[in-house]
Amino acid sequence: MRLFALFLAASLMPAAEPDWPSIEKSALDFFQRYVRIPSINPPANTVEAANLVKSVLESNGIPVRLLTSGPNGQTNLLARLPGRDRTKKPLLLLNHLDVVPVDRTAWKVDPFAAVIQDGLIWGRGTMDMKGIGAQHIMALIALKQAGVVPARDIVMLSTADEETDGHLGIRWMIKNHFNEIDAEYVLDEGGFGSREILAKDKLVFGVAVGEKLSVWLRVRAKGTAAHGSQPIPDNANVTLIDALRKAIALPAAKQPHPVVAEMIRNIGAPLAQNKYTAAIQVNTASLTSLTSGVGSPPKINVIPSASEATVDCRLLPGVNPEEFISEMKARINDPRISIELVTIPDDPGASNSRTPLFDAIRKAILKHHPNAVVTPMLVPHGTDSVKLRMMGLTAYGLTPMVLDLTTAGSMHSDQERIPVSEFLKGVHIFYDVLSSEF
Ligand SMILES: [Zn+2]
């Protein structure tokens, strides 16, 4: 109701500055209501979350369509704000309505109460990614309220299913409604600002232009079954352990990835040393599961004839998965070992950062953080952007918030939260990006 009143007042004074105190109050109020809806995936029943977003956008004069992708309330949302040049392909704001499950016993606060404590807003989805979703929504409302017609159409897609595999979310949208989301540019999650994670004691905003490829492997060893009382050399478990040591000992990268090289040049210093920056500079392999033994629970006195492990490898864009696996096989050099590729990764490469939109993002961030370095970056994990890059769209991961190591690491954890001040500043940054020429 309050938002609707704001819209009426603003429509009498087109192209004014948004009423920021009022927008900020509405933004925080909406964000809390949004987090309070437990849109957990599975099953990705997002109808209630989608209806809340729909009501707040429509009461501000922005029409919304809901698209049901599954039988249990799986609901995607599309909104469109028309721009001045309608011959240009739109800019797509991409966010997701679903959140990962919670272990309530591990949380110190109710994960769906959106409690504000010590300047932080706590709850599942605050970081991933209802916070950014709320920033997209409030930036659209601020544009509408101020009477700003953007340079081109802005489409917002809030998907039902990002946290499993996107089959009822981005994949479903690409398959069934691609013409409605076919855009020149995409702004998605990924990337962030930090004073410590990317470079030591330096404020760096990384805007994600690419991500690593997920290469998931199943490694199997074959051996001879035998009695545990009489050790044999052909023990599948021992063969597997020896092979895994060699499998995860990856050779050093021959040269830095061009995006990482550009990051280092822009920062003017080496990257900070931590697991995040380590992961974006090289190919990685994490041993994630071991399965073996005969019987359940496994018999202690039986040497099994087979043993199995899974390895989560993440390759830099441009690295050929087949070559990566054949190099791994050569290192292991044991005919008793087989390696199966569980996922076939997409590799669209990195998006071009020399665009008017990237310039607009840089300008908007510098307006609010004059001492920041703004740079293209890679992210070590997967996002929905990869699917859209595969379709030829230019996709950037923009999280316009300064985060410290523990806050950034709270995603999917039992302490997920973001600073309220950074959440609000992010609304301004998105507003500045969307109201510029691009
Ligand atoms: Zn997410």
CATH says 213-341 is which class?
alpha beta
CATH says 2-190+383-434 is which class?
alpha beta
Q: How far is the CA of 302 from the centre of ligand 1 (A)?
A: 44
Tens of pLDDT along the chain (438 residues) come to 455 555 444 444 446 799 999 999 999 999 999 999 999 999 999 999 999 999 999 999 999 999 999 999 999 999 999 999 999 999 999 999 999 999 999 999 999 999 999 999 999 999 999 999 999 999 999 999 999 999 999 999 999 999 998 999 999 999 999 999 999 999 999 999 999 999 999 999 999 999 999 999 999 999 999 999 999 999 999 999 999 999 999 998 888 999 999 999 999 999 999 999 999 999 999 999 999 999 999 999 999 999 999 999 999 999 999 999 999 999 999 999 999 999 889 999 999 999 999 999 999 999 999 999 999 999 999 999 999 999 999 999 999 999 998 899 898 999 999 999 999 999 999 999 999 999
Q: How far is the CA of 64 from the centre of ligand 1 (A)?
A: 22
Tell me which residue of 409, 387, 40, 398 sits closest to 214, measured CA to CA. Answer: 387
Q: How far is the CA of 127 from the centre of ligand 1 (A)?
A: 8
| 116 burial type by CB count under 10 A (0-12 exposed, 13-18 middle, 19+ buried) | middle
Q: How far is the CA of 44 from the centre of ligand 1 (A)?
A: 13
pLDDT of residue 2: 52
Q: How far is the CA of 151 from the centre of ligand 1 (A)?
A: 27
Indicate the pTM of the whole model. Answer: 0.92
pLDDT of residue 332: 98
Is residue 242 within 8 A of residue 331, CB to CB? The reply is no
- How far is CA 372 from each of CA 50, 84, 188, 367, rounded to the nearest angstrom? 35, 31, 21, 10
pLDDT of residue 409: 87
Q: How far is the CA of 338 from the centre of ligand 1 (A)?
A: 34
Q: How far is the CA of 304 from the centre of ligand 1 (A)?
A: 40
Q: How far is the CA of 217 from the centre of ligand 1 (A)?
A: 24
Both structure tokens of 198: 């990317």
The residues of the chain that CATH labels 3.30.70.360 are 213-341
pLDDT of residue 342: 95
Interatomic CA distance for residues 423 and 400, integer angstroms: 8
DSSP assignment of 344-381, as one string?
Answer: ------PPP--SHHHHHHHHHHHHH-TT-EEEEEEESS
Q: How far is the CA of 163 from the centre of ligand 1 (A)?
A: 7
Q: How far is the CA of 296 from the centre of ligand 1 (A)?
A: 36
Give the 3-state secondary structure of residue 322: helix
